[in-house]
Amino acid sequence: MKGTGGSGAHDEYGEYGEHAGYGEAGHGGAARGERPRGDADGRGSGDVPPGAGGSGPAPAPRIPMPRASVEDSGPPLPDLADPGDLAPVPLDLSHDVLKSLLGAWALAACSAAETAAVEEHLGGCGSCADEARRLREAVGLLHQPESLDLNPALRTRVLAACLNRRPPRIPVPGWATPYDAETARLDALLQDFGDAEWHAPVRLRWFEADAPTSRRSTVAGVIAHLLSVDGLIATALGLEDPLAEVADADKGAVGPAGRTEAYWRASHFPPTRSVRGPWREQSHSLVRTVSFTGGHAGGLTVPYGDFALPLHDAMLDRAFECWVHAEDIAEAVDYPYAPPAPRHLNRMIDLAARLLPTALAARRRAGLSAPGRRTPHLVPAGAPGRSLRLEIEGPAGGEWLIPLDSPAAVGSADFEVAHVALDGVEFCKLAAGHVPPAEAAAGQVGDREAIKDVLFAVASLSRM
């Protein structure tokens, strides 16, 4: 039933009234078939617009009518068949302005119009074209897929350049610079290690009684070993011993191996990354303390248990072991690690060459070798005796005459009985117990027995 009888009212309300609450009983409006009830002024609530049969003005509609579609209005639709040329129009810019845009163009930071103007200009300007090519090549270098790891020697080069311009107020003594450099390189290697790397297995290798020996550990365990042995120098310098409590509780904590084993036994859990902080702080303290001495050791010696070394040599020994174990760690995590600087490597080789006469004498006392057939007795102190010429090749190389018959004898070219040539890094690996003596020599001439004794004596310098 039509509520008010007008066609316009039906168009405005009849189609949408059910949803707006005008057509159904119970929703605030009259039911179909009922006369609308009037309000207070006598006007019905269902008044219709003028011209639709009503007697008064109609209220504004609550729901707007839908707008007519252009498709129903009659006018033709716009023709989209030819959208026109949308390509950017090159700008009319001067040469100087275009040249200043080359950097932004190389980085793809120009607008479409600027890009078009620059590229049109490059077709006719040779100097700008060359500059654009160089800039594009420079941008290409910013996205190299190569490794971003820094060169391990970068720190040394940067520090050297800085120190040449501004010498330190308290310089590090020359005999302590290898230890300073090697601890810094190892610390840089450890910097980004995660838990998996700190627990990576590492096998420590050395020679003992002319036989290869090894001990299984982890990266953290190796740093704990370095901390324990560096503590020997700290104690000699009057610094705090990191193993003071362990040494008091374990009387066997003497020497490098004894201190390391005691530290490992005292740990309730395997060492973790937390050991890096104490080791790093101790290494800094050692370098700082020896620097304040002004380069004078004052005859100070560092006891290693069954032997002792002067402070100068002890610092070189610690630098050597730090490098060797850093290579062990790098090998465990499959990371490249370069040898020390040639001037530092030469100092380490010189220390090993100076220790060889004592090592040869220790082998004779242990029955591992015998005196030469021509010199059945030891040569008096200070006298020349049989000698072996040790030639080290490479940038850290040199020559040393090693007395064979007495630690106090003097090497002499007149009594040379053998000549051995070795690469510098290979010689150090032999002294670290990482290369078998039978495979170490690059060249041998002369007394085979003397050569064998010297090569095994070099390997006997190694320890855990």
Q: What local confidence, expressed as pLDDT, does residue 367 receive? A: 86
Q: What local confidence, expressed as pLDDT, does residue 74 receive? A: 58
What is this structure's pTM? 0.64
Rounded to 10 degrees, the C-alpha dihedral 266/272/277/280 comes to 90
Q: Report how far apart the first and last C-alpha atoms of the chain are (Å, whole number).
A: 107
- Cα–Cα distance, 396 to 120 (Å, whole number): 58
pLDDT tens, residue by residue, 256-277: 888 888 888 887 778 888 999 9
What Å distances lie between residue 309 and 89, 137, 167, CA to CA?
Answer: 82, 56, 30
- Cα–Cα distance, 343 to 160 (Å, whole number): 14
Mean per-residue pLDDT of the chain: 80
| β-pair partners for 208 | 211
Query: What average pLDDT does range 22-39 have in this prediction?
Result: 42
Q: Comparing 174-332 with 342-460, is the CATH topology the same? A: no
Lowest average pLDDT, out of 57-61, 187-191, 270-274, goes to 57-61
Given pLDDT bands bounded at 50, 70 and 90, which one contains residue 20? Answer: very low
Contacts of 35 (CB under 8 A, 6+ apart): none
Q: Would you tell me which CATH number, out of the four given (3.30.1050, 2.70.98, 3.40.50, 1.10.1760), belongs to the domain 342-460?
A: 3.30.1050
Helix (H) or strand (E) holding 98: helix 95-100
Tokens of 423: 């690469």
179, 166, 207: which is closest to 362 by C-alpha? 207
Q: What does the domain layout of the chain look like in residue ranges?
A: 1-34+48-63, 95-141, 174-332, 342-460
- Asked if 178 and 324 touch (Cβ cutoff 8 Å), the reply is no
List b or e across 111-136, with b for residues whose CB sees 16 or more CB atoms inside 10 angstroms: eeebbbbbeebbeeeeebeebbeebe
pLDDT tens, residue by residue, 332-352: 999 999 999 999 999 999 999
Q: What local confidence, expressed as pLDDT, does residue 48 receive? A: 46
CA 95 from chain centre, in angstroms, equals 46
Q: Which CATH superfamily is domain 174-332 in?
A: dinb family like domain (1.20.120.450)
- Asked if 441 and 455 touch (Cβ cutoff 8 Å), the reply is yes
